[in-house]
Chains A and B, each alone.
Chain A
Amino acid sequence: MSATFALFGVLIAPVLQALFVLALQRPPGLRDVMHIGFALATAICAARLVGAAADGEMVRIALAQPLPNVALAFVVEPLGALVAATIGGLGFLHAVHSAGIVRATQEKAPARLMAFMALASGATMAVAFSANLFTFFVAYQVLTLCVFPLVAHRGDEEARRAGRTFLATLLTASMGLFLPAMIWTYAIAGALDFQPGGVLAGRVDALTANILLVLFVLGLAMAAMPPLHRWLPESSRAPDPALVTIQGVAILPAGGVGLIKVAAFVFGPALATAQFAAYGLIALAGVSMCVAALIALSRQDVRERLAYSCMAQSLAVVLGVLVALPMGLFAAALQIVALACSATTLTMAVGTTGAITTRRTVADYAGLGRVMPWTFAGFALAAASMIGMPPFSGAWAKLWLITATAGAGLVWAAALVGAAAVLTFAHLGPLAANTLAGKAPTDAFKRPDGASILLAAPVILSAAATLWLLVMADPLSSFLAPIWSDGR
């Protein structure tokens, strides 16, 4: 399979997945085969692109030329390939899991749910491989519009309100902040291409760089940077498969990728000239991490708790990006991978639990690990990774993050990262421990046969993925090195 074909594949396969799922709604088995089959094809194509990026192959496709000098184009580069491979693999597990969930919950519109999940996956791939700011903006908007139906899927007043908040926040931020920043960048540089070394390097004064940085960071509201974070907790009542898409395999990773692309390919060394704004945003992100982790501690609904927990983890990506050091960008990239693995595992585990036991609150989780050992083993591993406990992937990301912030002389920021990790332990550690150590409930299952393999296997497999950074950190460092090279 050529790399160009694989790049087309990761972009087209999810669209075909959506079409086939909608067209072949009955029998459900055929629908699920299509859903899982195309997700697997997407994952295989994404894996092929990792090889292409590692070999330094130049793969680029341009679909249209909507503006003079600006193409709707996609290119394979290491960051995009890494994120695509991660979310492609997790997306396959998610597809298997969602096939199980819609059966277990007797979902009323499963095909619509699956179709929009597939489209969201395709849009996330487009975000990851976008070749310029314009393409990124298009993919970002498409992703927003594809996830909106997932948030509003239930159709009741609460879901519609969450959908409105989601759509209004993300579109307003992108139109009101990101778009002006993009236009301004175009006016300064005459181009919007993502290029190592940054299109703004040497072309922007300190004031402009500071303003642009604030516009870009806040404009990328998918990263859940306060004050534009309300959409994340509001959307926590979405159906469980949608929650996996939002927190694990689409929205939060897309926000993180956008931040890294902007820092590395738009600013480059010019990020150093925006130090004032960067430090302000680091302080905001660091404090918000701790506050989000504290709020999570106060939430008794597990899905709300996870939403705030994921927000804290996503802000760690923001923090890593803004440190303006290669080490910080590397930490941010690792954090995206770690967050994707952990959040996907946790939300799938919560989904499985909800579908099988209808239990949703922290108190109700006590002892469930004894009757659902695979699911809660996965839950515990992912929680450990989210907390930052070695040897799971979250630990390496946080270690690099603390090293990067301390290396930049921002000891207070490193302390905030540490404090957030402690607070994450406080809201996830006892919860995970209690599920395994508590007394097993006697009437746990709503369904007499418990969780099917479709519901349990993806959880444990994605939890296993949180271990892979243990052996991959060093190779990943050289794999991602072209991102922060200066383009020479």
Chain B
Amino acid sequence: MGAYVELARAHAPLLMMSTAFAAAVLATLSPPRVSWVIACGGALLSAVFAFDLALRLLLGGGEFAFLVEAVALETDGVTIFGAALLSFASVAALVAAGAQLGDYEKRAAPFALALALMVQAAWIGALGARDLIGLFVAVETAWLAAVALLALSAERSAQNGAMRMLSAGGVGAALFLAGAALIYHATGALDLPRIAAAHIEMADAAALGAGLIVLSIALKAGVAPLHEWLGAGFSRANGLAAIVIGAVGVTGALAVLVRLAGYFAQAPAMGDGVSIALALLGGASVVIGSLQAVGATNLRRLAAYAGAAQAGGILLCVALGSPAGVAAALIQLTALVATALALFGGAAAGGVRTLDGLDGLGRRAPLAGAAIMTGAISLMGAPLTLGFLGRWRLVEAGVGAGWWWAAGAVIFASLAGVFYGGRLIERLYFRRAGEVYLGGAGAWRFATAPLLIAAIVVTMLGIAPGLLLQAADAAAAHLLGAAA
């Protein structure tokens, strides 16, 4: 038995992806409730592999030595950190899906669960891709699975949202392919480590290619102003689709962006250009996302725009190109996952779409209210939350690099967070209910509880973030070391 466990651990990078794929296939062949159990089991197994890797390599200081798999995988620190984060979000979303299967027609529910697993597996695959072609295939698989998941919703308007996502994804795919072609033309390589180490003669073409790829992934991460699909997609999605796209899809795209930027930053011919592009995009996303969140009247749109502002902060961190910046980005990514789970999960559990629906929710659905409040205070950047920790680490890294304006952007995001986060809290606890509670009926509604509790606990990791900081530092150091 021990030998099998060791064998599985040796192949963990492949297994954390393939178990989710296998569970997806099995789920489609089963009745709804059985498929839910299979989906949860598959996601959990994938999470076990991912967390085992993180414990061994990021916290235990083990060697990054893996067997050569049949597919082109390159496992680095950010792959492991991001995979752990994605699988955590996926487990939470799929367990909570038990309360939301009623949103689908009976025949569609197993497919929805399978697509959610596909999103997770494909983004993990993208995180571990060794070359740009593998990365493209994985990203597009994840994106199309998310589009299909959204389109499966019973509401017709969700299909319009899916069409928007499909169109945006098409643009992103074209940008990616053009960027990959330019990079291949300039470097003669598609392997990420080789690109990072290549002696580049055609620096402009390579930088342009890298910029196009960054834009393509940023579009899929919902970074403003490339987030046209975001509002329509989220506001029309049902509970499961919103949680999976918001917490798994967006996180996967951002983690891939962090990883890619780590590789591109190491190539002298591309590094500066990519850094400037990321900084500009990040700053714009912070400002635009924050302003849109202030004006939002739909809870999911608000969460999506606030996520865009947070994503901007992550891009600013990555733009620094330093281990401190990448580590700060990973902390912010963790904060984003927790916030997305709290807000989308709370909205799903409370049956809330518009801000009016939040009125008095703190009394009607205390756990959902607490989760949304926790997400809101993290968005404000309140101390002792992960939101504060992530922003503090960004400011620390930014000031260290002389980027004072980045500190200004962070403070702007926090100030905007005070307005939209404060509005959420006021509605939750200081208004009387204007709508009937639409949360699920029966015992299945409790399936959302683990997600909400997990979101609250992770957000409050800001109180004692020692292990998280250690893991992020190790992941960042390994990424930049591996890429160099």
Contact = CB atoms under 8 A, between A and B. Distances in A.
Report if A and B associate in a common complex.
Answer: yes
B463 A64 contact: yes
Given A149-B430, A168-B418, A65 B383 contact: no
B319 interface: no
A65 B462 CA distance: 9
A72 B431 CA distance: 33
Interface in A130-173: 134, 137-138, 141, 149, 152, 155, 160, 163-164, 167-168, 171-172
Contact of A160 (B380, B430, B462): B430
Contact of A179 (B396, B414, B426): B414
B389 interface: yes
Contact of B411 (A67, A152, A176): A176
Contact of B430 (A163, A183, A186): A163
Interface string B416-451: 001100100010011110000000000000000000
A134 B407 contact: no
B464 A183 contact: no
B225 interface: no
A171 B426 contact: no
A27 to B, nearest CB: 23
A138 B392 CA distance: 13
B381 interface: yes
- Among B381, B426, B430, B465, the one with the most A-chain Cβ atoms within 10 Å of its Cβ is B430
A172 B411 contact: no
A475 interface: no
Given A64-B464, A187-B399, A176 B415 contact: yes
A155 B430 contact: yes
B399 to A, nearest CB: 5
A175 B418 contact: yes
Contact of B464 (A66, A155, A180, A186): A66
Interface string B378-415: 00111110000100100110010000000110010011
B422 A138 contact: no
B281 interface: no
B2 interface: no
Contacts of B462: 66
Contact of A137 (B380, B383, B396, B399): B383
B407 A66 contact: no
Contacts of B466: 65
Contact of B415 (A134, A149, A175): A175
A172 B419 CA distance: 9
Contacts of B464: 64-66
B463 A171 contact: no
B347 interface: no
A20 B422 CA distance: 27
Given A66-B389, A137-B383, A141-B383, A149 B407 contact: no
A183 B380 contact: no
- Among A163, A167, A175, the one with the most B-chain Cβ atoms within 10 Å of its Cβ is A175
A409 B408 CA distance: 38
Contact of A183 (B389, B395, B418, B422): B395
A160 B427 CA distance: 10
Contacts of B469: 68
Interface of A: 64-68, 72, 134, 137-138, 141, 149, 152, 155, 160, 163-164, 167-168, 171-172, 175-176, 179-180, 183, 186-187
13 contacts: A66-B383, A66-B463, A67-B392, A68-B469, A72-B384, A137-B383, A164-B422, A172-B418, A175-B414, A175-B415, A176-B415, A180-B407, A187-B399
Given A66-B383, A137-B383, A168-B422, 16 more contacts: A64-B463, A66-B389, A67-B392, A138-B384, A155-B430, A155-B431, A163-B430, A167-B418, A167-B426, A168-B419, A171-B380, A171-B418, A176-B411, A180-B408, A180-B411, A187-B399
Q: Rank and list the top 6 A-B pairs by shortest CB-CB distance, nearest first.
A: A138-B383, A171-B418, A175-B414, A187-B399, A64-B463, A152-B430
